[in-house]
């Protein structure tokens, strides 16, 4: 992660980049629209459950398992092939994320390890810990230079310190940095994209921006498409002010689209069509 100039609160410094405040405000309006819907007052649990399912579907699509929503609802076997295992991992992470909120601010690295353990669902030695020197990474859809294990360890520790310290940065900025840093580092031997998007979700929920988890950014990331996702990630990895601002704006747009999706679900429930 790179910021513009020295700052006691580097995440807050990112919030002052050109265009970021506008992205935060536009996203906030979309989130407020969902929370202000009359259906949310009576049936928020249903909206949360539907958002979790749709978010898992979106995250899996970005990791190569692009299934129709009804296929995700219908299937019960998520171990039959590679795509099914990716979908199963995304569903498990979506269910797990809400259970880790109280731990995140005290021990984010512990939460990340738990997310990887849940996603991998095996007892292999490399599961649930950052990769070590010489270990390969199975993340074929992210074609970026792979940082070495020592760099990964140092940057993870720095990210953890920023989260624990807190600060005044908007939730979108913090969530975007967590997401981008995990994709750039690929700290685990597998499932890094799924873990990164689950961590983004945890930040958005835990910050109070989306406490009921009804604005799944994963839906928006998938809707915007893998090409746009990777182009925006390139901007994050560049570390330039324009690149960082573009990544944050991309993540903000993803949250907007997730909020729009849940607004549509609210409308369908109100019409009695769901």
Per-residue confidence band for 6, with pLDDT thresholds at 50, 70 and 90 = very low
Task: Give the least confident one: 9-13, 35-39, 45-49, 199-203.
Answer: 9-13
- Mean pLDDT for all residues in the chain: 94
Q: Is the pLDDT of residue 165 over 90?
A: yes
**6-28: string of b/e by CB count within 10 Å (b at 16+)?**
eeeebbbbbbebeebeebbeebb
pLDDT digits (tens, 9 = 90+) for 232-268: 999 999 999 999 999 999 999 999 999 999 999 999 9
Q: What pTM was estimated for this model as a whole?
A: 0.94
Tell me the per-residue pLDDT of 42-60, one tens digit each, with 9 for 90 and over: 999 999 999 999 999 999 9
Pick from 105, 62, 16, 99: which is nearest to 254 by CA? 62
Residue 1 pLDDT: 63
**Is residue 4 scored above 50 in pLDDT?**
no
The arithmetic mean of pLDDT across residues 25-54, rounded, is: 96
Cβ atoms of 175 and 203 within 8 Å: the answer is yes
What DSSP assignment string belongs to 1-16?
A: ---SS--SSHHHHHHT
Task: Give which of 54, 115, 2 is closest to 258, Cα–Cα.
Answer: 54
Nearest in space to 201 (alpha carbons), one of 59, 10, 62:
59
The arithmetic mean of pLDDT across residues 20-40, rounded, is: 97
Question: How many Cβ atoms sit within 10 Å of the Cβ of residue 131?
Answer: 21
First vs last Cα of the chain: how many Å apart? 43
């Amino acid at each position: 992660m790179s910021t513009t100039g020295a700052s006691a609160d580097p995440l807050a410094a990112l919030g002052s980049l050109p265009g970021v405040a506008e992205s935060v405000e536009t996203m906030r309006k979309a989130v407020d629209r969902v929370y202000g819907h009359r259906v949310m007052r009576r049936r928020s649990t249903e909206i949360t459950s539907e958002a979790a399912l749709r978010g898992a579907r979106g995250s899996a699509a970005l990791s190569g398992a692009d299934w129709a929503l009804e296929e995700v609802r219908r299937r019960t076997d998520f171990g039959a092939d590679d795509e099914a295992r990716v979908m199963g991992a995304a569903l498990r992470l979506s269910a797990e994320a809400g259970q880790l909120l109280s731990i995140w601010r005290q021990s984010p690295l512990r939460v990340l390890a738990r997310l990887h353990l849940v996603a991998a669902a095996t007892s292999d030695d490399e599961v649930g810990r950052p990769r070590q020197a010489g270990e390969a990474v199975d993340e074929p859809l992210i074609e970026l230079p792979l940082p070495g294990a020592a760099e990964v360890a140092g940057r993870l520790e720095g990210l953890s310190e920023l989260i624990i310290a807190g600060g005044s940065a908007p939730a979108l900025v913090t969530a975007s940095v967590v997401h981008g840093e995990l994709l750039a580092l690929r700290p685990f031997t597998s499932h890094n994209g799924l873990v990164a998007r689950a961590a983004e979700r945890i930040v958005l929920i835990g910050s109070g921006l989306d406490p009921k988890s009804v604005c799944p950014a994963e839906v928006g990331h998938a809707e915007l498409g893998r090409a746009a996702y990777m182009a925006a990630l390139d901007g994050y990895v560049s570390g330039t002010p324009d690149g960082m601002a573009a990544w944050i704006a991309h993540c903000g747009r993803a949250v907007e689209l997730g909020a729009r999706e849940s607004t549509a679900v609210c409308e369908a429930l109100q019409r009695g069509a769901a």
